[in-house]
Amino acid sequence: MSAAAGASIVSPLLRGRMFVIDQSRCIGCEACVQACEECGTHRGTSLIHLEFVDRGATTQTAPMVCMHCEDPTCAEVCPADAIKQNEDGVVQSALKPRCIGCSNCVLACPFGVPKYFALADQMMKCDMCFDRTSVGLAPMCASVCPSQALWYGTEEDFEDTRSGELMREFRFGAQVVPTKVATVVRDRSLGPLDVPAGQSATRWQDDPFGLGESL
Amino acid sequence: MSRLPVTEAELIERYGPHLNLEPPGGWNHGLEIDREVETHCCFCGQQCGIKLKVADDRVVGFEPWYDFPFNKGKLCPKGVKRYLQGSHPDRLLEPLVRDPGADGGFREVDWDTALQRTVAEIQRIQGAYGKDSFALLSGVSLTNEKSYLIGKFARLALQTANLDYNGRLCMVSAGAGNKLALGADRAPNPWSDIPLAEVVFVAGANVAECAPITTSYIWQARDRGAKLIVSDPRVTPLARTADVFLGVRPGTDSALMGTILHVLIENDWLDHHFIDEHTSGFADAAAAVRDYTPQWGARTCGVPEDRIVEAARLWGTSQTGMLLHARGIEHQSKGVENVLSCINLGLATGKYGRPGAGVCTITGQGNGQGGREQGHKCDQLPGNRDITNPEHREYVAGVWGCDVDEIPGKGLTAQEIIEAIHDGQVKGLLSICFNPAVSLPDTAHTAAALDKLEHYTTIDFFLSESAQHADVVLPGSLHEEDEGTTTSVEGRAIKINAAVPPPGNARLDWEIFLDLARRLGRGQYFGYENTEQVFEEMKVASHGGTADYNGMTWQRIEDEHGIFWPCPTEGHPGTPRLYEGGVFAHEDGRGRFHAVAFREPAEVVDDEFPLWLTTGRVVSQYLSGTQTRRIGALVEQYPEPLCEMHPRLAAELGVRTGDLVTVTSRRGAMTTPARVVESIRPDTVFIPYHWPGSRAANQLTNRALDPVSKIPEYKVSAVRVARAEGHVEVRDRRVTTLQERASGGASGGWTPGDGS
């Protein structure tokens, strides 16, 4: 298999490793949320998102790390030019001296990643655990994730051990967003993942326990 | 007398649970890390490797231990936050005696006073009522060394037959089933066999929440093309991804497995060679399921016929397959039969003794596997020996250097000890690592028993809800404060390393037992200077038993990242996979089929109690919550028990998510918020069991026991549900900002009676 569709994965500081989210595997245990706040650079503050999609209907949960867009929308809309990418293309939290706390980035990010912290008056976000990845360690969330819905390794490792194909392009209406972080699709030849369109809701396994009739 | 010395509110105010929110010194403590100690998580039988960070003799954080082969750094939220049980404000630092006049109901005393009081009461009660009137309840969060020591202490120092343990609430059904059918009590396979299976069948196991790391093994199998079958009354997070989901009615597991066996036979999806050469009893097992047609199974289990047939086809036509079961099928008054019905499926298709083939229980408790092997159970001596077998007794008496008649006979099981207290046969109790006030069924009955005792001493690190009833509380040690071994879900003995010493005047558990033994005049049997000496004796005591540790040393266990038993001789590599070549542990080498006829659970629904109640765990809490209800981040994740119910039932009751509901059984009633979800059968409600008092699901559960394993029927009760006054916010989001933290977190806490 050749390189996955989407942005370049050349990442000197990450030593050829990459971050993959396969949300279908998520078991909602929140180990990622708990581990994120143990990270050395933002102790006590978890920057990953973990949401129940619709707990009334399903146990499906979705973890969300920063996708590290090639052209980050958060940086584009920042009036203070406070959001920077490093030489690996990893998008950083807002620079504290520059951030004016306007939350433009929070509103604009197509993936809903940046968080505005009122007490610090600063936007903070997932930086792929730069303190760990820059010294060859896996990010905290991908280290602990029991289902490995959050995964960190080389593309060769992925192809050797995991099913599915890597996708690094997402479509939001007319906007196509290439990202550094990949997600897993069954068939990437179908093109960028159309996020707002979603997939048609199909009843699962004769739908236990939807039971057909309206409630 | 052991009534609560002061009100529950006063006890909680003084002794907690309070929440530990931050590492010692706060998030920005800036402490230099002195060392990282390679050890294991204390919460559950997966026993994940973890490194604890230590500064100034306090555990201040963790680091993933990537090199430990079982979990390779992976942890669930309990593992991530386990370090916060140390340096906890609720930690007991001095011995306590009950004193209704003291602040919080207990008075601090010195060790000599506390131990003399306990010993005097043991001697008084045993003198008046006989040796067996003083019981010992223990637990399997303890190491193998402590388990062995407690087994020996009960028999030779306390000289009581009535020793049992909280593993009685965990995997005794699996243990009994495995012994009956296969001859040894252990999961037959290492977990590295799971990825090699063509089909993985998860029966009554909420793997995602109760054994989270096992999820990764199942996905490794699926990445290689394996199919996943899940049977459960709820669409658990793992079940959501299954290829075949069997949403069984609670209490019908043996009917499901019996129907699958029927379909295997009808379609000749059998391994006749294996059945002929390596098993016995097939004809009787087949006869028992002759009438268990898919139509019958569908009607009995409430599962579509074609799904049962599809599950049977996948299992029966695959060369390899792993069936994983846990408390869902085992916590029943027919837990052993359910296990045997699963084993029948393995034997019928030859799925034993090969890579990727086996039927395994998933141990729930930290040292659930090892704890019972070392003679810590009312019917067992070390090495999984039988306390009623004269040869076994003779061997252990030889190791202990005692007369064989000094070893008491078989005693009562945990729930039976509670009944014996009510009956007046048991008058005194010593307990450690067991919180029966929360974890046993029918909590009102348990509390009444604790209050009937003439004396109760407990060893604990926090004042658990059971310890609140005690006369003497001895402050013991945490997992990270002592050295020893445990045996994980795989039957792999692993090394537990001490990270820090016990704080204050708390003492190591084993030293407390040695001190008690000396004071009881039986110190000659307990001359250990450290727990490695206990291990060295334990492994000799285990030699020749099925769980043979004789060839192990602490050094080898550490160097080899664990050793699987049996390991009978020095240099033996250990035995990751049992029954290779189809040779089972019975004397004739054959695995035994059992005829399993379906019977209903002890209690069935009726007009008065029309719904099934099933109980279980959530991922952020562990057992009775003594430890995990004191860790802020874990409490925030799931702050209170929610009653899961289907939208159809909720509509009938006029209930929305967050509305309070009152759930009533023949034992009691509780009021708790509802969570309305399509992921549960419409005829069933679910409540997790980790909370005490008015929030205890075990107020409702049934004391009915399995006749063989004596496990209580936590998974099946009949209840009715009604809407109550009040509504609380139930959040499904995990987006905590500093602002929310500062204002008290994201949980929607309430107290019963608030009716907000």
Per-residue pLDDT tens digits of chain A, which is 215 residues long: 334 444 455 556 677 899 999 999 999 999 999 999 998 888 888 999 998 888 998 999 999 999 999 999 999 999 999 999 998 889 999 999 999 999 999 999 999 999 998 888 999 999 999 889 988 999 999 999 999 999 999 999 999 999 999 999 999 888 899 999 999 998 888 888 877 765 544 556 667 787 764 32
pLDDT higher than 70, residue B2: no
> Which chain A residues are within 8 Å of B209, Cβ to Cβ?
27, 29
d(CA B645, CA B684): 7
Which CATH number fits the domain A5-194, given the four candidates 3.40.390.10, 3.30.70.20, 3.40.50.300, 3.30.300.20? 3.30.70.20
Continuous segment of H or E residues that includes residue B231? strand B227-231
Question: What's the pLDDT at B238?
Answer: 96
The half-sphere exposure of B214 on its side-chain side, counting CA atoms within 13 A, is: 33
d(CA B409, CA B113): 32
A49 touches chain B (CB under 8 A): yes
Q: Is residue B756 part of a domain?
A: no
* A163 three-state secondary structure: coil
pLDDT above 90 covers what percent of chain B? Answer: 95
CA angle, residues B479, B483, B487, in degrees to nearest 5: 75
Q: Are both B478 and B394 inside the same structural domain?
A: yes
Kindly tell me the burial class for residue B561, based on how many C-beta atoms sit within 10 Å of its own C-beta (0-12, 13-18, 19 or more).
middle
d(CA B463, CA B104): 11
Instruction: Domain of residue B432: give its range.
Output: 96-168+377-486+499-529
More confident residue, A206 or B165: B165
Average pLDDT over residues B281-301: 98
B651 touches chain A (CB under 8 A): yes
Q: Model confidence over B638-687: pLDDT tens digits? A: 999 999 999 999 999 999 999 999 999 999 999 999 999 999 999 999 99
A129 touches chain B (CB under 8 A): no
Q: Are both B309 and B217 inside the same structural domain?
A: yes
* B146 three-state secondary structure: helix
Pick from A27, A119, A140: which is nearest to B739 by CB?
A119
Q: Are both B422 and B466 inside the same structural domain?
A: yes
Tell if the CB–CB gap between B64 and A144 is shorter than 8 Å: yes
Yes or no: say if B584 and B591 are a contact pair by the CB < 8 Å rule: yes
CA angle, residues B486, B488, B491, in degrees to nearest 5: 105
Question: What's the pLDDT at B389?
Answer: 97
The first and second tokens of residue B106, run together, are 């207990």
Question: What's the pLDDT at B367?
Answer: 96
Residues 354-413 of B with CB under 8 A from A: none
Q: Are both B140 and B212 inside the same structural domain?
A: no
d(CA B575, CA B190): 9
Q: Is residue B411 part of a domain?
A: yes
Yes or no: say if B261 and B348 are a contact pair by the CB < 8 Å rule: yes
Q: Are both B139 and B274 inside the same structural domain?
A: no
Question: Which residue shows structure tokens 């064989």?
Answer: B404
A95 CA: distance to closest CA in chain B (Å): 18
Residue A150 phi/psi, 5° resolution? -105, 125
- The CATH number that applies at residue B349 is 3.40.228.10
> Which chain A residues are within 8 Å of B223, Cβ to Cβ?
161-163
Q: Model confidence over B305-351: pLDDT tens digits? A: 999 999 999 999 999 999 999 999 999 999 999 999 999 999 999 99
d(CA A211, CA B17): 42
For residue B734, which amino acid is it?
A: R
Q: Are both B150 and B194 inside the same structural domain?
A: no
- The CATH number that applies at residue B131 is 3.40.50.740
Cβ-proximal residues to B310 (8 Å cutoff; 6+ apart), any chain: B244
pLDDT higher than 70, residue B579: yes
Residue B277 phi/psi, 5° resolution? -90, -25
Q: Which of B361, B396, B411 corresponds to the end of one domain?
A: B361
pLDDT higher than 70, residue B746: no
pLDDT higher than 90, residue B749: no
DSSP per position, B542-604: HTTSSS--TT--HHHHHHTT-EESP--STT----SSSSGGG--SSTT--EE---------SS-
> Which chain A residues are within 8 Å of B62, Cβ to Cβ?
38
The first and second tokens of residue B108, run together, are 């601090």
Average pLDDT over residues B224-253: 97
pLDDT higher than 60, residue B748: no
Q: Is residue B709 part of a domain?
A: yes
Q: Are both B328 and B385 inside the same structural domain?
A: no
Tell if the CB–CB gap between A209 and B678 is shorter than 8 Å: yes
Of the candidates B754, B691, B686, B696, the residue with the CA atom closest to the CA atom of residue B725: B754
Q: How far from chain centre, in Å, is Cα B661? A: 28
Average pLDDT over residues B68-93: 97
Q: Is residue B572 part of a domain?
A: no
The residue among B51, B246, B737, B747 with the most chain A CBs within 10 A of its CB, best to mutate, is: B737
Longest dimension (CA), chain B: 73
Tell if the CB–CB gap between A56 and B678 is shorter than 8 Å: yes
pLDDT higher than 80, residue B392: yes
Tell if the CB–CB gap between B734 and A33 is shorter than 8 Å: yes
Q: Are both B162 and B182 inside the same structural domain?
A: no
Average pLDDT over residues B210-234: 98
Average pLDDT over residues B480-491: 98
Question: What's the pLDDT at B733?
Answer: 56
Q: Is residue B592 part of a domain?
A: no
Residue B345 phi/psi, 5° resolution? -70, -35
Question: What's the pLDDT at B455?
Answer: 98
Question: What's the pLDDT at A210?
Answer: 74
Q: Are both B131 and B190 inside the same structural domain?
A: no
Average pLDDT over residues B368-384: 94
Pick from A60, A115, A204: which is nearest to B737 by CB?
A115
Yes or no: say if B63 and B86 are a contact pair by the CB < 8 Å rule: no
Alpha helices in chain A (DSSP H): 31-36, 73-76, 104-108, 130-133, 140-144, 155-161
The residue among A17, A20, A27 with the most chain B CBs within 10 A of its CB, best to mutate, is: A27
Of the candidates A33, A46, A47, A55, the residue with the CA atom closest to the CA atom of residue A149: A33
Q: Which residue of B lies nearest to A22 if distances are taken between CA atoms?
A: B219
Number of folded domains that form chain B:
4
Tell if the CB–CB gap between A56 and B647 is shorter than 8 Å: yes
pLDDT higher than 80, residue B110: yes
The residue among A30, A50, A131 with the most chain B CBs within 10 A of its CB, best to mutate, is: A30
Question: What's the pLDDT at B557?
Answer: 98
* Range of weakest confidence among A11-15, B152-156, B369-373: A11-15
Question: What's the pLDDT at A198?
Answer: 59
Question: What's the pLDDT at B197?
Answer: 98
Q: Are both B211 and B227 inside the same structural domain?
A: yes
Yes or no: say if B164 and B436 are a contact pair by the CB < 8 Å rule: no
Tell if the CB–CB gap between B241 and A24 is shorter than 8 Å: yes
A144 touches chain B (CB under 8 A): yes
Q: Model confidence over B436-474: pLDDT tens digits? A: 999 999 999 999 999 999 999 999 999 999 999 999 999
Q: Are both B162 and B178 inside the same structural domain?
A: no
d(CA B658, CA B429): 41
Cβ-proximal residues to B260 (8 Å cutoff; 6+ apart), any chain: B297, B308, B311, B312, B315, B345
- The CATH number that applies at residue B675 is 2.40.40.20
pLDDT above 70 covers what percent of chain B? Answer: 96
> How confident is the prediction for chain B on average, in pLDDT?
95
Kindly indicate the confidence band of residue B752, based on its pLDDT and cuts at 50, 70 and 90.
very low
Yes or no: say if B609 and B602 are a contact pair by the CB < 8 Å rule: no
Tell if the CB–CB gap between A56 and B735 is shorter than 8 Å: no
Question: What's the pLDDT at A187?
Answer: 86
Q: Is residue B751 part of a domain?
A: no
Q: Is residue B536 part of a domain?
A: no
Q: Which of B85, B104, B139 corresponds to the end of one domain?
A: B85
Question: What's the pLDDT at B718?
Answer: 98
Kindly indicate the confidence band of residue B731, based on its pLDDT and cuts at 50, 70 and 90.
confident
Give the number of beta-carbon pairs within 8 Å between A and B: 165
Query: ipTM, 2 decimals?
Result: 0.94
Q: Is residue B73 part of a domain?
A: yes
DSSP per position, B69-130: TTTTT---HHHHHGGGGTT-TT---S-EEE-TTSGGGEEE--HHHHHHHHHHHHHHHHHHH-
B307 touches chain A (CB under 8 A): yes
Q: Model confidence over B393-405: pLDDT tens digits? A: 999 999 999 999 9
Tell if the CB–CB gap between B247 and A29 is shorter than 8 Å: no
Q: Are both B400 and B524 inside the same structural domain?
A: yes
d(CA A32, CA A63): 8
Kindly indicate the confidence band of residue B620, based on its pLDDT and cuts at 50, 70 and 90.
very high
Yes or no: say if B578 and B586 are a contact pair by the CB < 8 Å rule: no
Question: What's the pLDDT at B359?
Answer: 98
* B184 three-state secondary structure: coil
